[in-house]
Each structure stands twice: as C-alpha cells, then as structure tokens.
Amino acid sequence: MVSLEVSLCGLKLRNPTVLASGIRGNNAYLLIRAAKEGAGAVTSKSCSLLPREGHNNPTMMGCQPFMLNAIGLSNPGVDEEVEEIRIAVKRAGVPVIASIFAHSVEDFAKLASRISEAKPHMIEMNISCPNVHREGKMFSASPSDAASAVAAAREATSAPISAKLSPDVPNIGEIAAACVGAGANCITAVNTMGGMLIDAYARRPVLFNEYGGVSGPALKPIALKAVYSIRKAIGPDVPIIGTGGGASGLDAVEMIMAGATAVGVGSAVVLRRNAFREICNEMKAFMKENGYSKISQLKLES
C-alpha cells in the first residue's frame, strides 16, 4: 500500500502537491476547486495592504518548455482577501496557505496580522517577486533584508510562516538559513526566475513590463538545485515546499529526493488537465514499481 501523506509544519496533507501562489488562487472558489481536483494544500495569490491593478497586457507568454509572465501582483487588497481566505479555510477541506507581499518591513507586519484574522493554516511571505523591478530590489536578495521582513511578520502572527525565495541570488542556502533564524517555519523554493522575450519583428519586448518570471519545465533544474542547497543549509527538520517546473509524478519525486517536503504545482495546472490527480497517480506508480511505500523513503542516498 503506497501512502502519499506528508506533514508540513504539523499540518497533515493527503498528498504532497500544493497549488502554487498566483495560479488559479484569485478567490475562494478557485482555491476550493484546486482542492477538489486533488491538491494536498492550496496557496492564494499574493495580496498587499491596498488593492493593486498590476501591469497592462500583454502579461503572459506561454510556449514549451516555459512560460513567461509579468502579471504585476494584481490583487484586491487584504481587506477583501481576508474574506476569501476565510471562506476557503472553511470549505476547501485541505490546508490553506495565504500569500502576502509588501514593499516595507512595516507593511509585512501589518499584512501578517490582518491576514491572520482569516485563520489560514500558514502564511507564505512572497519576498521574491521578479517582475516588480521599478519598485526596488527583492527582500530575498540578501540574508539581512530577508530576515528583517520575516522577523517583522513573526512578531505579528502566531501562524506558521513560509518564506518564498528567489533563484536569482548567489547563495540561496544562506538566505534560507537567515529566514529560519528570523522565525520562518518553512521555506518555499523557488519563485519564478527573471527572464525576457523579444519580438524581433516588432523590435520590442513581448511583455508590457519588458521582462517577467520564467516558470514551467525549464525552471525545474534550477529549482532542484535550490531545494538541494537549502536542505544542506537548514538541515533536515525545517520543511521545504519545492516549487518550479513540477509537471509530472517523476518531477515531484525528484523534487522530494532533492530535499523537498511538499511540491508546489503551478504552470502544470495550465499545461495539463487534472494535474494534481495525475501527478499523484504517477507518483504512486513510480513508488509501487520501485518498492517505496511512503514519501519519507524518497531521498537521495548519501
């Protein structure tokens, strides 16, 4: 009998797949839909203190083996988001992770406090969005900045916190360790990686924002390395949600072998039907064929 159950910060997940932030997580209904489609946990789209329109179109370009987007973190603001999260927590039937982003340490604290009123099972701090470049550098660009943001949120909430990190840094393990030292209970790795496409005929960037975040299968090797590096840096006890390029059961197995506790699923939800169920079925088939009965047995040999 193969079991896909995992524990994430004391939360029991029926399987290790987690709907990644920004993918069909705009409202409670879409979070509930992902849960019904088989996700082990769901993450909302990142919200800010005040409503934000985001970037003008075009905001996304999809082609194999990657997707490129610069949505611009559009969201209705935390006051409306609290109500959506509250509904999702009540009806989804799986752990709900509320994602937040801010441009100051003080605002991260305010957001963590406000979103906690909805009683999410975890708060994910998006300190690593790659496509809001006109507003300054990412908090996740340095250990000290990342730690400052996490520490502020930690004082403002008792909910478990996961820090979502960027692959566009020299030493992601060092930054993850700083986040854990500041009070993060979990690490989400990774966010999309900065990228760009140019229309040679139009002689201009494809996206309105000029560049955005690369996701999809092309991100997988980068995410695997990041997860592996983070696991070596923070030790075996702090969970990692490995996110980036996971589109199949084998991808998910490899992410867990690299050191992830759970696997974020983002672009795969767009690229294939019934992504969560299919990924889980493929994981089970691999585990059964290779003599594994539980997720904890999936790890690289030392």
Residues known to be catalytic: 129
Select the CATH number that applies to the domain covering 6-297 from these four: 1.10.260.40, 3.10.105.10, 3.20.20.70, 1.10.8.100: 3.20.20.70
Q: Cα 63 to chain center, whole Å?
A: 21
pLDDT at 209: 86
Which residue in 62, 168, 291, 261 sits closest to 252, CA to CA?
261
One-character DSSP codes across the chain: --B--EEETTEEESSSEEEPTTSS-SSHHHHHHHHHTT-SEEEPPPB-SS-B--PPSP-EEEETTEEEE-----B--HHHHHHHHHHHHHHSSS-EEEEE--SSHHHHHHHHHHHGGG--SEEEEE---TT-GGG---GGGSHHHHHHHHHHHHHH--S-EEEEE-SSSS-HHHHHHHHHHTT-SEEEE---EEEE-EETTTTEESSTTSEEEEESGGGHHHHHHHHHHHHHHH-SSS-EEEESS--SHHHHHHHHHHT-SEEEE-HHHHHSTTHHHHHHHHHHHHHHHTT--BGGG-----
Domains of the chain, by residue range, sit at: 6-297
Cα separation, 186 vs 252, whole angstroms: 18
pLDDT at 134: 40
pLDDT at 133: 41
One-character DSSP codes across 10-32: TEEESSSEEEPTTSS-SSHHHHH
Q: Give pTM, 2 decimals.
A: 0.95
pLDDT at 282: 98
Which residue in 39, 63, 95, 41 sits closest to 269, CA to CA?
39
Q: Are 211 and 179 in contact (CB under 8 A)?
A: no
Handedness of CA 143, 159, 166, 237 (dihedral sign): positive
Each of the 302 residues of the chain gets a pLDDT tens digit; together they read 999 999 999 999 999 999 999 887 679 999 999 999 999 999 999 999 999 888 788 887 877 788 898 887 889 999 999 999 999 999 999 999 999 999 999 999 999 999 999 999 999 999 997 655 445 689 999 999 999 999 999 999 999 999 999 999 999 999 999 999 999 999 999 999 999 999 999 999 999 888 888 999 999 999 999 999 999 999 999 999 999 999 999 999 999 999 999 999 998 998 898 999 999 999 999 999 999 999 999 988 65
Helix axes 275-289, 249-258, angle to 10 degrees: 70
- CB atoms under 10 Å from CB of 274, counted, come to 12
